[in-house]
Protein backbone atom coordinates (compact mmCIF):
# COMPACT_ATOMS: atom_id res chain seq x y z
CA UNK A 1 0.00 0.00 0.00
CA UNK A 2 1.58 3.37 -0.94
CA UNK A 3 0.86 7.01 -0.23
CA UNK A 4 0.34 8.55 -3.62
CA UNK A 5 -0.10 12.24 -2.98
CA UNK A 6 -0.08 15.03 -0.41
CA UNK A 7 -1.86 18.34 -0.51
CA UNK A 8 0.39 20.79 1.31
CA UNK A 9 -1.35 23.24 3.56
CA UNK A 10 -0.96 26.78 2.30
CA UNK A 11 -0.72 27.98 5.88
CA UNK A 12 2.69 26.34 6.27
CA UNK A 13 4.35 28.80 3.89
CA UNK A 14 2.33 31.93 4.44
CA UNK A 15 4.96 33.49 6.69
CA UNK A 16 8.02 31.89 5.14
CA UNK A 17 10.50 33.52 2.79
CA UNK A 18 12.65 31.63 0.33
CA UNK A 19 16.42 31.95 0.54
CA UNK A 20 18.80 31.53 -2.38
CA UNK A 21 22.34 30.33 -1.72
CA UNK A 22 25.10 32.66 -2.93
CA UNK A 23 28.25 31.20 -1.41
CA UNK A 24 29.35 28.22 0.71
CA UNK A 25 32.50 27.79 2.76
CA UNK A 26 33.26 24.45 4.42
CA UNK A 27 35.94 23.92 7.06
CA UNK A 28 36.48 20.27 7.94
CA UNK A 29 38.23 19.16 11.13
CA UNK A 30 39.84 15.74 11.56
CA UNK A 31 37.55 15.11 14.53
CA UNK A 32 34.38 14.17 12.63
CA UNK A 33 33.01 17.70 12.48
CA UNK A 34 32.74 20.59 10.06
CA UNK A 35 31.99 24.30 10.15
CA UNK A 36 29.57 25.44 7.43
CA UNK A 37 29.34 29.11 6.42
CA UNK A 38 26.66 30.09 3.92
CA UNK A 39 25.64 33.40 2.41
CA UNK A 40 22.10 33.57 1.07
CA UNK A 41 19.95 36.26 -0.51
CA UNK A 42 16.29 36.63 0.38
CA UNK A 43 13.36 39.03 0.07
CA UNK A 44 12.25 40.29 3.46
CA UNK A 45 9.01 42.07 4.33
CA UNK A 46 8.71 44.48 7.18
CA UNK A 47 7.44 42.98 10.41
CA UNK A 48 7.80 39.64 12.14
CA UNK A 49 8.27 36.87 9.60
CA UNK A 50 9.38 33.25 9.53
CA UNK A 51 12.56 32.47 7.59
CA UNK A 52 13.20 28.86 6.56
CA UNK A 53 16.57 27.53 5.40
CA UNK A 54 16.54 24.06 3.87
CA UNK A 55 19.49 22.12 2.43
CA UNK A 56 21.25 22.15 5.79
CA UNK A 57 23.12 19.21 7.30
CA UNK A 58 20.96 16.59 8.99
CA UNK A 59 23.63 16.20 11.69
CA UNK A 60 23.77 19.90 12.47
CA UNK A 61 24.36 21.04 16.04
CA UNK A 62 21.49 23.55 16.43
CA UNK A 63 23.15 25.20 19.43
CA UNK A 64 26.04 26.31 17.23
CA UNK A 65 23.97 28.22 14.64
CA UNK A 66 24.60 31.93 14.05
CA UNK A 67 22.29 34.08 11.86
CA UNK A 68 23.36 37.53 10.73
CA UNK A 69 22.00 40.06 8.25
CA UNK A 70 24.85 41.47 6.17
CA UNK A 71 22.73 44.13 4.47
CA UNK A 72 20.93 45.60 7.48
CA UNK A 73 22.21 44.09 10.75
CA UNK A 74 20.86 47.00 12.80
CA UNK A 75 17.27 46.55 11.61
CA UNK A 76 16.98 42.74 11.53
CA UNK A 77 16.95 40.69 14.71
CA UNK A 78 16.20 37.06 15.54
CA UNK A 79 13.41 36.42 18.02
CA UNK A 80 13.34 32.63 17.88
CA UNK A 81 15.28 29.82 16.28
CA UNK A 82 14.19 26.24 15.53
CA UNK A 83 15.73 23.20 13.92
CA UNK A 84 13.08 20.98 12.35
CA UNK A 85 14.37 17.48 11.72
CA UNK A 86 11.24 15.32 12.08
CA UNK A 87 11.38 14.17 8.47
CA UNK A 88 8.47 12.80 6.49
CA UNK A 89 8.06 9.03 6.36
CA UNK A 90 5.08 6.77 5.70
CA UNK A 91 4.68 5.73 9.33
CA UNK A 92 5.11 9.27 10.68
CA UNK A 93 2.49 10.60 8.26
CA UNK A 94 -0.02 7.93 9.16
CA UNK A 95 0.69 8.28 12.88
CA UNK A 96 -0.30 11.95 12.66
CA UNK A 97 -3.60 10.95 11.00
CA UNK A 98 -4.76 8.43 13.63
CA UNK A 99 -8.25 9.50 14.67
CA UNK A 100 -8.66 11.62 11.52
CA UNK A 101 -10.34 10.99 8.20
CA UNK A 102 -8.34 9.64 5.26
CA UNK A 103 -9.26 8.47 1.79
CA UNK A 104 -8.60 5.20 -0.01
CA UNK A 105 -8.64 5.20 -3.79
CA UNK A 106 -9.42 1.89 -5.48
CA UNK A 107 -9.37 1.17 -9.19
CA UNK A 108 -11.06 -1.70 -10.96
CA UNK A 109 -11.95 -2.74 -14.46
CA UNK A 110 -9.79 -4.24 -17.14
CA UNK A 111 -7.67 -1.11 -17.51
CA UNK A 112 -8.35 0.39 -14.12
CA UNK A 113 -10.87 2.82 -15.57
CA UNK A 114 -13.24 2.53 -12.62
CA UNK A 115 -12.37 4.50 -9.51
CA UNK A 116 -13.84 4.15 -6.05
CA UNK A 117 -13.17 6.54 -3.15
CA UNK A 118 -13.59 5.20 0.38
CA UNK A 119 -13.53 7.64 3.29
CA UNK A 120 -13.01 6.54 6.85
CA UNK A 121 -11.34 7.24 10.18
CA UNK A 122 -7.85 5.83 10.66
CA UNK A 123 -7.80 3.80 13.90
CA UNK A 124 -4.39 2.12 13.86
CA UNK A 125 -1.29 1.53 11.72
CA UNK A 126 0.12 -1.42 13.69
CA UNK A 127 0.57 -4.38 11.33
CA UNK A 128 -1.18 -2.48 8.53
CA UNK A 129 -3.95 0.10 8.62
CA UNK A 130 -7.25 -0.27 10.44
CA UNK A 131 -10.03 1.93 9.04
CA UNK A 132 -13.52 2.67 10.41
CA UNK A 133 -16.01 3.25 7.58
CA UNK A 134 -19.51 4.02 8.84
CA UNK A 135 -20.27 1.14 11.19
CA UNK A 136 -17.68 -1.25 9.73
CA UNK A 137 -14.04 -1.85 10.64
CA UNK A 138 -11.75 -2.60 7.65
CA UNK A 139 -8.48 -4.42 8.33
CA UNK A 140 -5.70 -3.77 5.81
CA UNK A 141 -8.03 -2.57 3.08
CA UNK A 142 -6.53 -2.36 -0.40
CA UNK A 143 -6.07 0.91 -2.24
CA UNK A 144 -3.89 3.97 -2.39
CA UNK A 145 -3.98 6.26 0.63
CA UNK A 146 -4.67 9.95 0.06
CA UNK A 147 -4.00 12.55 2.76
CA UNK A 148 -5.39 16.05 2.69
CA UNK A 149 -2.25 17.89 3.77
CA UNK A 150 1.20 17.54 5.32
CA UNK A 151 0.73 17.34 9.10
CA UNK A 152 2.20 20.12 11.17
CA UNK A 153 5.66 19.40 12.56
CA UNK A 154 6.84 17.20 9.69
CA UNK A 155 9.29 18.46 7.08
CA UNK A 156 10.63 16.95 3.87
CA UNK A 157 14.18 18.18 4.52
CA UNK A 158 16.10 19.21 7.65
CA UNK A 159 15.20 22.88 8.06
CA UNK A 160 16.56 25.78 10.06
CA UNK A 161 13.78 28.19 10.92
CA UNK A 162 13.96 31.66 12.43
CA UNK A 163 11.32 34.08 13.62
CA UNK A 164 12.80 37.39 12.49
CA UNK A 165 11.76 40.94 13.30
CA UNK A 166 12.62 43.13 10.33
CA UNK A 167 12.29 46.91 10.18
CA UNK A 168 13.05 47.38 6.49
CA UNK A 169 11.53 45.68 3.44
CA UNK A 170 13.59 44.53 0.49
CA UNK A 171 16.24 42.02 -0.52
CA UNK A 172 18.87 41.24 2.10
CA UNK A 173 22.04 39.21 2.14
CA UNK A 174 22.36 37.04 5.24
CA UNK A 175 24.99 34.70 6.60
CA UNK A 176 24.51 31.54 8.62
CA UNK A 177 27.25 29.56 10.35
CA UNK A 178 26.87 26.21 12.07
CA UNK A 179 28.78 23.15 13.17
CA UNK A 180 27.79 19.74 11.91
CA UNK A 181 28.91 16.26 12.85
CA UNK A 182 29.28 13.45 10.36
CA UNK A 183 32.02 14.94 8.18
CA UNK A 184 35.66 14.04 8.62
CA UNK A 185 38.99 14.12 6.84
CA UNK A 186 42.20 12.20 7.15
CA UNK A 187 45.59 12.20 5.50
CA UNK A 188 47.09 9.31 3.58
CA UNK A 189 50.66 9.18 2.36
CA UNK A 190 52.28 7.05 -0.31
CA UNK A 191 56.06 6.67 -0.13
CA UNK A 192 58.08 4.97 -2.86
CA UNK A 193 61.61 4.07 -1.78
CA UNK A 194 64.36 3.38 -4.30
CA UNK A 195 66.12 0.03 -4.49
CA UNK A 196 68.88 1.16 -2.09
CA UNK A 197 66.52 2.77 0.45
CA UNK A 198 68.40 6.05 0.13
CA UNK A 199 65.83 8.22 -1.65
CA UNK A 200 62.04 8.20 -1.72
CA UNK A 201 59.16 10.01 -3.39
CA UNK A 202 56.25 11.06 -1.17
CA UNK A 203 52.69 11.94 -2.14
CA UNK A 204 50.12 13.09 0.39
CA UNK A 205 46.38 12.84 -0.09
CA UNK A 206 43.45 14.09 1.93
CA UNK A 207 40.35 11.92 2.16
CA UNK A 208 37.09 13.72 3.01
CA UNK A 209 34.22 11.51 4.16
CA UNK A 210 30.88 13.34 4.17
CA UNK A 211 28.01 11.69 6.02
CA UNK A 212 26.57 14.90 7.45
CA UNK A 213 23.33 14.75 5.47
CA UNK A 214 24.03 17.71 3.17
CA UNK A 215 25.81 18.48 -0.09
CA UNK A 216 28.13 21.48 -0.28
CA UNK A 217 28.20 22.75 -3.86
CA UNK A 218 31.13 24.74 -5.23
CA UNK A 219 32.39 25.30 -1.69
CA UNK A 220 35.52 27.05 -0.59
CA UNK A 221 37.19 24.15 1.18
CA UNK A 222 39.46 24.38 4.21
CA UNK A 223 40.92 21.63 6.37
CA UNK A 224 42.07 22.08 9.97
CA UNK A 225 44.75 19.77 11.38
CA UNK A 226 45.18 19.77 15.14
CA UNK A 227 43.69 18.58 18.38
CA UNK A 228 40.74 20.92 18.89
CA UNK A 229 39.02 20.53 22.25
CA UNK A 230 35.28 19.83 22.19
CA UNK A 231 32.85 19.30 25.03
CA UNK A 232 31.11 15.96 24.76
CA UNK A 233 27.35 16.27 24.36
CA UNK A 234 24.43 14.34 22.97
CA UNK A 235 24.34 14.34 19.18
CA UNK A 236 21.51 15.15 16.80
CA UNK A 237 20.97 12.12 14.66
CA UNK A 238 19.95 11.99 11.07
CA UNK A 239 17.76 10.90 10.01
CA UNK A 240 43.08 2.19 -1.55
CA UNK A 241 45.00 5.03 -2.20
CA UNK A 242 47.80 3.92 -4.59
CA UNK A 243 48.50 5.72 -7.83
CA UNK A 244 50.43 4.24 -10.69
CA UNK A 245 54.21 4.42 -10.59
CA UNK A 246 54.29 6.70 -13.61
CA UNK A 247 52.11 9.20 -11.77
CA UNK A 248 54.34 8.96 -8.72
CA UNK A 249 57.33 9.77 -10.89
CA UNK A 250 55.59 12.62 -12.68
CA UNK A 251 56.85 16.14 -12.24
CA UNK A 252 55.41 17.71 -9.10
CA UNK A 253 52.45 19.92 -9.94
CA UNK A 254 51.52 23.17 -8.28
CA UNK A 255 50.20 22.26 -4.79
CA UNK A 256 46.41 22.23 -4.67
CA UNK A 257 46.38 23.19 -0.98
CA UNK A 258 47.93 26.26 0.56
CA UNK A 259 49.08 25.71 4.14
CA UNK A 260 49.34 28.27 6.94
CA UNK A 261 49.41 28.42 10.73
CA UNK A 262 46.06 29.20 12.31
CA UNK A 263 45.80 29.71 16.06
CA UNK A 264 47.63 26.64 17.46
CA UNK A 265 46.67 24.48 14.48
CA UNK A 266 47.41 24.31 10.77
CA UNK A 267 44.99 25.17 7.99
CA UNK A 268 45.05 23.78 4.45
CA UNK A 269 43.00 25.73 1.90
CA UNK A 270 42.12 24.22 -1.46
CA UNK A 271 43.03 26.68 -4.22
CA UNK A 272 39.85 26.03 -6.14
CA UNK A 273 36.23 25.40 -5.33
CA UNK A 274 34.94 21.87 -4.92
CA UNK A 275 31.62 20.10 -4.45
CA UNK A 276 31.43 17.71 -1.50
CA UNK A 277 28.39 15.49 -1.99
CA UNK A 278 26.49 13.81 0.80
CA UNK A 279 27.51 10.16 1.34
CA UNK A 280 30.66 10.71 -0.71
CA UNK A 281 34.34 10.05 -0.11
CA UNK A 282 36.50 12.61 -1.92
CA UNK A 283 40.26 12.35 -2.30
CA UNK A 284 42.50 15.27 -3.25
CA UNK A 285 46.28 15.40 -3.52
CA UNK A 286 47.73 17.99 -1.14
CA UNK A 287 51.52 17.54 -1.24
CA UNK A 288 54.19 15.89 -3.35
CA UNK A 289 57.93 15.64 -2.75
CA UNK A 290 60.48 13.95 -4.95
CA UNK A 291 63.90 12.57 -3.99
CA UNK A 292 63.50 12.78 -0.23
CA UNK A 293 66.60 11.44 1.57
CA UNK A 294 65.61 8.50 3.78
CA UNK A 295 67.41 6.12 6.09
CA UNK A 296 66.58 2.53 6.93
CA UNK A 297 66.96 1.82 10.64
CA UNK A 298 67.07 -1.51 12.51
CA UNK A 299 66.14 -1.56 16.20
CA UNK A 300 66.15 -4.39 18.71
CA UNK A 301 64.06 -4.03 21.86
CA UNK A 302 64.49 -7.35 23.63
CA UNK A 303 62.03 -6.68 26.42
CA UNK A 304 59.54 -4.36 24.63
CA UNK A 305 58.19 -3.20 27.96
CA UNK A 306 55.70 -0.38 28.58
CA UNK A 307 56.51 1.89 31.52
CA UNK A 308 53.87 2.03 34.26
CA UNK A 309 55.91 4.05 36.75
CA UNK A 310 58.46 2.89 39.30
CA UNK A 311 57.09 0.10 41.48
CA UNK A 312 58.63 -1.20 44.71
CA UNK A 313 58.27 -4.82 43.67
CA UNK A 314 60.31 -4.14 40.49
CA UNK A 315 63.44 -3.53 42.53
CA UNK A 316 64.17 -7.06 43.73
CA UNK A 317 62.12 -9.19 41.33
CA UNK A 318 64.74 -11.22 39.45
CA UNK A 319 62.55 -11.97 36.43
CA UNK A 320 61.37 -8.39 35.90
CA UNK A 321 62.15 -7.34 32.33
CA UNK A 322 63.10 -10.82 31.17
CA UNK A 323 59.67 -12.38 30.55
CA UNK A 324 59.07 -11.43 26.92
CA UNK A 325 62.37 -12.44 25.35
CA UNK A 326 61.55 -11.12 21.88
CA UNK A 327 63.89 -12.01 19.03
CA UNK A 328 62.37 -9.62 16.50
CA UNK A 329 64.42 -6.79 15.01
CA UNK A 330 62.22 -3.93 13.80
CA UNK A 331 62.72 -2.16 10.48
CA UNK A 332 61.96 1.55 10.19
CA UNK A 333 62.26 4.21 7.54
CA UNK A 334 63.25 7.66 8.76
CA UNK A 335 63.29 11.07 7.09
CA UNK A 336 63.27 14.70 8.14
CA UNK A 337 60.35 16.93 7.23
CA UNK A 338 62.49 19.85 6.04
CA UNK A 339 62.81 22.11 3.01
CA UNK A 340 66.29 20.76 2.43
CA UNK A 341 64.65 17.36 1.92
CA UNK A 342 62.04 18.81 -0.51
CA UNK A 343 59.40 18.73 2.23
CA UNK A 344 58.86 21.28 5.02
CA UNK A 345 55.04 21.48 5.04
CA UNK A 346 53.49 20.53 8.40
CA UNK A 347 52.17 17.02 7.86
CA UNK A 348 48.76 16.19 9.37
CA UNK A 349 48.40 12.86 11.11
CA UNK A 350 47.42 9.91 8.96
CA UNK A 351 48.38 6.57 7.51
CA UNK A 352 51.58 6.20 5.52
CA UNK A 353 52.13 3.31 3.11
CA UNK A 354 55.58 2.45 1.80
CA UNK A 355 56.42 0.79 -1.51
CA UNK A 356 59.86 -0.23 -2.74
CA UNK A 357 61.20 -0.26 -6.25
CA UNK A 358 62.24 -3.72 -7.40
CA UNK A 359 65.17 -4.34 -9.72
CA UNK A 360 62.75 -4.66 -12.65
CA UNK A 361 61.27 -1.22 -11.92
CA UNK A 362 58.01 -2.49 -10.44
CA UNK A 363 56.69 -1.57 -7.00
CA UNK A 364 56.07 -3.86 -4.06
CA UNK A 365 54.34 -3.01 -0.77
CA UNK A 366 56.73 -3.25 2.22
CA UNK A 367 54.70 -1.90 5.14
CA UNK A 368 52.55 0.84 6.60
CA UNK A 369 52.28 2.86 9.78
CA UNK A 370 50.50 5.92 11.12
CA UNK A 371 52.14 9.23 11.93
CA UNK A 372 51.02 11.96 14.30
CA UNK A 373 50.79 15.66 13.40
CA UNK A 374 54.37 16.48 12.40
CA UNK A 375 55.66 20.08 12.27
CA UNK A 376 58.34 21.15 9.82
CA UNK A 377 61.94 20.20 10.61
CA UNK A 378 60.85 17.20 12.73
CA UNK A 379 61.88 13.61 12.15
CA UNK A 380 59.37 11.10 10.79
CA UNK A 381 59.95 7.45 11.64
CA UNK A 382 57.78 4.81 9.99
CA UNK A 383 57.64 1.27 11.39
CA UNK A 384 57.43 -1.15 8.46
CA UNK A 385 57.75 -4.59 10.04
CA UNK A 386 60.38 -7.00 11.36
CA UNK A 387 63.57 -8.06 9.61
CA UNK A 388 63.63 -11.63 8.34
CA UNK A 389 67.42 -12.15 8.36
CA UNK A 390 68.42 -10.35 11.56
CA UNK A 391 67.78 -11.97 14.93
CA UNK A 392 68.30 -10.71 18.48
CA UNK A 393 68.61 -12.64 21.71
CA UNK A 394 68.62 -11.13 25.21
CA UNK A 395 69.55 -13.09 28.35
CA UNK A 396 70.04 -12.13 31.97
CA UNK A 397 73.60 -13.15 32.82
CA UNK A 398 73.62 -12.30 36.53
CA UNK A 399 71.44 -10.85 39.28
CA UNK A 400 72.36 -9.71 42.80
CA UNK A 401 70.44 -7.84 45.49
CA UNK A 402 71.23 -6.22 48.81
CA UNK A 403 69.20 -4.27 51.33
CA UNK A 404 69.17 -1.03 49.35
CA UNK A 405 70.70 -1.97 46.02
CA UNK A 406 70.34 -4.31 43.06
CA UNK A 407 72.75 -5.27 40.28
CA UNK A 408 72.12 -7.24 37.12
CA UNK A 409 73.98 -8.11 33.92
CA UNK A 410 72.72 -8.79 30.41
CA UNK A 411 74.09 -10.41 27.29
CA UNK A 412 72.56 -9.36 23.97
CA UNK A 413 73.47 -11.34 20.88
CA UNK A 414 72.65 -10.08 17.39
CA UNK A 415 72.99 -12.37 14.39
CA UNK A 416 73.01 -11.06 10.81
CA UNK A 417 72.24 -13.53 8.01
CA UNK A 418 72.24 -10.91 5.28
CA UNK A 419 75.03 -10.60 2.71
CA UNK A 420 75.80 -7.07 3.86
CA UNK A 421 76.87 -5.35 7.05
CA UNK A 422 74.09 -3.76 9.13
CA UNK A 423 73.81 -1.47 12.13
CA UNK A 424 71.25 -2.29 14.82
CA UNK A 425 70.16 0.10 17.56
CA UNK A 426 69.67 -1.86 20.77
CA UNK A 427 67.18 -0.33 23.23
CA UNK A 428 67.45 -1.20 26.92
CA UNK A 429 64.81 -0.17 29.47
CA UNK A 430 66.15 0.56 32.97
CA UNK A 431 62.88 0.46 34.85
CA UNK A 432 63.81 -1.05 38.21
CA UNK A 433 64.45 2.30 39.90
CA UNK A 434 65.23 5.93 39.12
CA UNK A 435 68.81 5.73 40.45
CA UNK A 436 71.01 3.65 38.18
CA UNK A 437 74.45 3.49 36.66
CA UNK A 438 75.95 1.21 34.04
CA UNK A 439 79.15 0.04 35.73
CA UNK A 440 80.47 -2.26 32.99
CA UNK A 441 79.87 -2.30 29.24
CA UNK A 442 81.34 -3.88 26.14
CA UNK A 443 80.61 -0.84 23.97
CA UNK A 444 79.56 2.77 24.32
CA UNK A 445 75.91 3.68 24.83
CA UNK A 446 73.74 6.81 24.67
CA UNK A 447 71.43 7.76 27.50
CA UNK A 448 68.21 8.60 25.61
CA UNK A 449 66.25 9.61 28.71
CA UNK A 450 66.12 8.95 32.46
CA UNK A 451 65.27 5.27 31.98
CA UNK A 452 66.51 4.29 28.49
CA UNK A 453 69.95 3.43 27.13
CA UNK A 454 70.72 2.79 23.46
CA UNK A 455 73.65 0.84 22.04
CA UNK A 456 74.62 0.84 18.36
CA UNK A 457 76.00 -2.46 17.18
CA UNK A 458 77.58 -3.03 13.78
CA UNK A 459 77.10 -6.64 12.64
CA UNK A 460 79.17 -8.02 9.77
CA UNK A 461 77.52 -9.94 6.97
CA UNK A 462 76.76 -13.51 7.99
CA UNK A 463 78.15 -12.68 11.42
CA UNK A 464 77.14 -11.75 14.93
CA UNK A 465 77.78 -9.08 17.52
CA UNK A 466 77.54 -9.39 21.30
CA UNK A 467 76.77 -6.61 23.77
CA UNK A 468 77.25 -7.07 27.51
CA UNK A 469 76.63 -4.62 30.29
CA UNK A 470 76.05 -4.46 34.05
CA UNK A 471 73.75 -1.93 35.69
CA UNK A 472 73.52 -1.09 39.39
CA UNK A 473 70.39 0.39 41.03
CA UNK A 474 70.16 1.89 44.50
CA UNK A 475 67.40 3.38 46.67
pLDDT at 250: 41
Q: Does the pLDDT at position 26 exceed 80?
A: yes
* pLDDT (0 to 100) of residue 389: 96
> What does DSSP assign to residue 36?
E
The yes-or-no verdict on residue 242 having pLDDT over 90 is no
What is the tens place of the pLDDT at every residue in 65-121?
888 888 888 888 888 877 776 667 788 788 888 888 888 888 887 777 788 888 989
Task: Tell me the pLDDT band of 221, cut-offs 50, 70 and 90.
Answer: very high
| pLDDT over 70 (residue 51) | yes
∠ CA 44-46-50, rounded to 5°: 60
The whole-number average pLDDT for the span 182-202 is 93
The pLDDT value given to residue 42: 81
Q: What is the rounded distance in angstroms from the CA atom of residue 216 to the CA atom of residue 23?
A: 10
Q: Mean pLDDT throughout 186-205?
A: 93
- Name the 3-class secondary structure at 340: helix
- Return the pLDDT at 9: 31
- 365 by Cβ neighbours in 10 Å (0-12 / 13-18 / 19+) ranks as exposed
Who contacts 196 (Cβ-Cβ below 8 Å, separation ≥6)?
A: none
Q: By mean pLDDT, which of 25-29, 105-109, 397-401, 407-411 is the weakest?
A: 105-109
Q: How confident is the model at residue 238 (pLDDT cuts 50, 70, 90)?
A: very low
What rounded mean pLDDT belongs to the chain? 85
Residue of 258 and 448 predicted with greater confidence: 448
Q: How many CB atoms lie within 10 A of CB 103?
A: 14
- Closest to 201 in 3D by CA, of 363, 360, 351: 363
Looking at the chain, the whole-number percentage of residues with pLDDT higher than 90 is 47
Residues 394, 412: contact at Cβ < 8 Å? yes
| pLDDT value of position 8 | 31
* Per-residue pLDDT at 314 exceeds 90: no
- Residue 210 pLDDT more than 80? yes
CA dist., res. 376 & res. 336, Å (int): 8
pLDDT of residue 307: 85
CA separation, residue 444 to residues 43, 48, 360, 464 (Å)? 79, 82, 41, 17
Structure pTM?
0.67
The pLDDT of 209-224, averaged and rounded, is 93
State how far the Cα of 461 lies from the Cα of 186, in Å rounded to an integer. Answer: 42
Contacts of 116 (CB under 8 A, 6+ apart): 105, 106, 107, 108, 143
Amino acid sequence: MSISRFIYAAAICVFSVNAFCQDVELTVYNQNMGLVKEKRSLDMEKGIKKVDFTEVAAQIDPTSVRFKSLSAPESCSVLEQNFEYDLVSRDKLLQKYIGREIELERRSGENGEKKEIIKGTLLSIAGGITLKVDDKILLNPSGEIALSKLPEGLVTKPTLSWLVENERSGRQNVEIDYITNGINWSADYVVVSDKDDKMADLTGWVTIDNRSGATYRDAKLKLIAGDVNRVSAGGYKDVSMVNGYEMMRAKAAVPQFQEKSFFEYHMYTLQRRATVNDNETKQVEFTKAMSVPVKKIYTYDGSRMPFYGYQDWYRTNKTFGTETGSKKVSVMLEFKNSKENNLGMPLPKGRIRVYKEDSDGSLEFVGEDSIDHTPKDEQVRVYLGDAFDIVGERTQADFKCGTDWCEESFKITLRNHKDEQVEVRVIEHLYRWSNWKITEKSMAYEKKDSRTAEFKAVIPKDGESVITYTVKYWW
